């Protein structure tokens, strides 16, 4: 069963290639959704996949790329949006 998670990643996660690295992992795992920087320094991710895939993806989110320092990851389950792929959003709309 496919689930939707809204994920907020806190810590040193901007300016360390977190979005680009996360997109590569999402594409590899087959996660659909998007990732964007928030004005307060957090990173927001909308992710859709099955439970096993989301678990692997969440492991990545808690770790991040080499220079990232993840202090916390918050998740909330939401309604499916049926994204077609995983995208990096450059600016908030």
Nearest residue to 47 (alpha-carbon basis) of 68, 69, 66, 25: 25
- What number of other Cβ atoms are within 10 A of residue 67's Cβ? 12
- Active-site residue, 37 included: yes
Angle at 86 between CA 80 and CA 90, to 5 degrees: 110
- Active-site residue, 76 included: no
Catalytic member of 3, 37, 62, 91: 37
Nearest residue to 80 (alpha-carbon basis) of 54, 62, 58: 54
Q: Which residues are catalytic?
A: 19, 37
């Amino acid at each position: 069963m496919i689930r939707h998670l809204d994920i907020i990643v806190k810590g040193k996660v901007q300016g360390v290639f977190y979005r680009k690295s996360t997109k590569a992992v999402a594409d590899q795992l087959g996660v659909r959704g998007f990732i964007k920087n928030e004005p307060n320094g957090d990173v927001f991710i909308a992710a859709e996949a099955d439970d096993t895939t989301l678990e692997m993806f969440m492991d990545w989110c808690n770790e991040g790329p080499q220079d990232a320092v993840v202090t916390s990851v918050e998740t909330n389950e939401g309604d499916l949006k049926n994204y077609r792929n995983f995208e990096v959003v450059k600016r908030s709309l």
